[in-house]
Homo-oligomer: A and B are copies of this chain.
Amino acid sequence: MEHFNISRRHLLVGSASAAALLTASKVGQAQEAKPLPDYVAYKDPEALIVHSNNTLETERSALGVQPITPDRQLYIRNNVSPPSDEIVADRDAWEVTFEGVGEPRNITVGELKTMGIETVTMVLQCSGNGRAYFEHKPSGTPWQVGAAGCVMWTGVPLRAVVERLGGAAEGVRFVTGTGGEEIPEGLDPLDLIVERSVPVDVLDSILLAWDMNGEPISLAHGGPLRMVVPGFTGVNNIKYIKKVALTDTETEALIQSERYRIHPVGTEGSTEYPSVWQMSVKSWITGPLETARAGINQITGLAFGGMSAAASVEVSVDDGETWEEAQFIGPDLGQYAWRPFVLAKELEPGTYRIVSRATDSEGNQQPEETEPNQAGYNHNGWRAPGVDVTVS
């Protein structure tokens, strides 16, 4: 009795072909299963839908009622492939350039760790999460609900670094972060560089984070250092952050000037349209899905407010005809986190369309539909992500 077989989930770690086999055998898999890419081979193949090497979605069922999404289940969306894993070999040696401050200079992660420590829990959600629900079928990954997770970041507050560097230069209006992805030779850097600007008025909430969920940030999620902007969509949270500049204008990178803009269907993105920045109030059901047994069921889901806390959430089992208040469960992890919820509900045999509708602490309620926009960003309508459940 000194040794034990290790369980299947651990055997599968690192085994992409076995993972593929397993995923392929799943009942109800909506699309042909692809294996996990090598750089995320440690993830849970049963929890993820592989759209492509750089786009992996978490299964709705896996999101469940988790206050914190484990790395192994967290979605992936990279605009450019990650750098070599050499950059996480000596994490404390990673250097970040600071500009637009009184005393600009380069600072290593090792030195940043001496400047302050804070932890924030926040929803990390791809700007395009829910794109599949837009009727005009925007191009891009057809995410449903699972390009989102709730994670806990630990790092230094950007405000502490800026103070140490003599404060912000006069007249700055943006925090502009640059990612460390490699840009292949011969291609236009402006077209590929992951560089985003966010309004300087959220500077106080920004972290330069080295840990996610209590462990050094994996390369896949932006280690050794990621700039996290709580309440802002995923693209604004710059991985492998190598430069932080306080600037008076937005970056001219196309990822800022043309892409990630909210513009009408049929138009091209440009600076005349709003950038995809803050998230909005949102919720969805995570169980039951497809089938359930007659009797009392625990109807579960997740709700968040984006910039402010989710204050309440209602559930409807008749596609929005009638609503009942659900209960939040688990700890309140702060205004940027999501709240798992549950409604215990007696269901008789039949078919049900189950939906949820959240309200944030500012009184904003999740809309029935989301106004269409060409690229399919910021979907938060309550009707489309509903689930059809057969109770027997």
A331 touches B215 (CB 8 A): no
What are 24 A-B contacts with C-beta separation under 8 Å?
A2-B37, A3-B38, A4-B37, A6-B42, A7-B85, A7-B88, A7-B89, A8-B89, A9-B216, A13-B42, A64-B154, A64-B214, A66-B211, A67-B214, A68-B68, A72-B215, A114-B295, A114-B298, A119-B331, A119-B340, A152-B331, A331-B331, A332-B332, A333-B333
> Is A300 an interface residue, CB under 8 A from the partner?
yes
Restricting to A10-33, which residues have a CB under 8 Å from any CB of B?
10-11, 13-14
Restricting to A97-123, which residues have a CB under 8 Å from any CB of B?
113-121
Beyond contacts A5-B84, A64-B214: 19 other A-B pairs, Cβ-Cβ < 8 A, are A2-B37, A2-B81, A4-B38, A4-B81, A4-B219, A5-B38, A6-B14, A7-B88, A7-B218, A10-B14, A11-B14, A13-B13, A14-B14, A70-B214, A72-B215, A120-B330, A331-B332, A331-B333, A331-B337
* B residues less than 8 Å from A337 (CB atoms): 331
Question: A297 to nearest B CB, angstroms?
Answer: 6
Contacts known (A68-B214, A81-B2); A331 close to B121, Cβ less than 8 A: yes
- A181's nearest neighbour on chain B, judged by CB, is B1
Q: Which of B5, B72, B82, B152 contacts A68 (CB 8 A)?
A: B152
Total identical chains: 2
**Interface size counted on chain A using CB atoms at 8 A:** 71
B116 touches A298 (CB 8 A): yes
> Is A184 an interface residue, CB under 8 A from the partner?
yes
Measured between alpha carbons, how far is A114 from B287 in the docked complex, in Å? 11
The proximity string for A residues 48-70 relative to B, scoring 1 for CB distances below 8 Å and 0 otherwise, is 00000100000000001111111
Measured between alpha carbons, how far is A47 from B333 in the docked complex, in Å? 26
Q: Which of A41, A115, A120, A331 has the most CB of B within 10 A?
A: A331
* B residues less than 8 Å from A216 (CB atoms): 9
Question: A294 to nearest B CB, angstroms?
Answer: 11
- A63's nearest neighbour on chain B, judged by CB, is B214
* B residues less than 8 Å from A189 (CB atoms): none
* B residues less than 8 Å from A8 (CB atoms): 89
A296 touches B114 (CB 8 A): yes
> Is A265 an interface residue, CB under 8 A from the partner?
no
> Is A39 an interface residue, CB under 8 A from the partner?
yes
Measured between alpha carbons, how far is A330 from B118 in the docked complex, in Å? 6
Restricting to A293-341, which residues have a CB under 8 Å from any CB of B?
293, 295-298, 300, 329-334, 337, 340
B10 touches A65 (CB 8 A): no
Top 10 closest pairs, chain A to chain B, by CB: A119-B330, A66-B214, A4-B39, A10-B42, A331-B333, A7-B85, A1-B81, A3-B38, A13-B13, A70-B214
> Is A278 an interface residue, CB under 8 A from the partner?
no
Question: A308 to nearest B CB, angstroms?
Answer: 16
A38 touches B152 (CB 8 A): no
* B residues less than 8 Å from A6 (CB atoms): 14, 38-39, 41-42, 85
* B residues less than 8 Å from A7 (CB atoms): 85, 88-89, 218-219
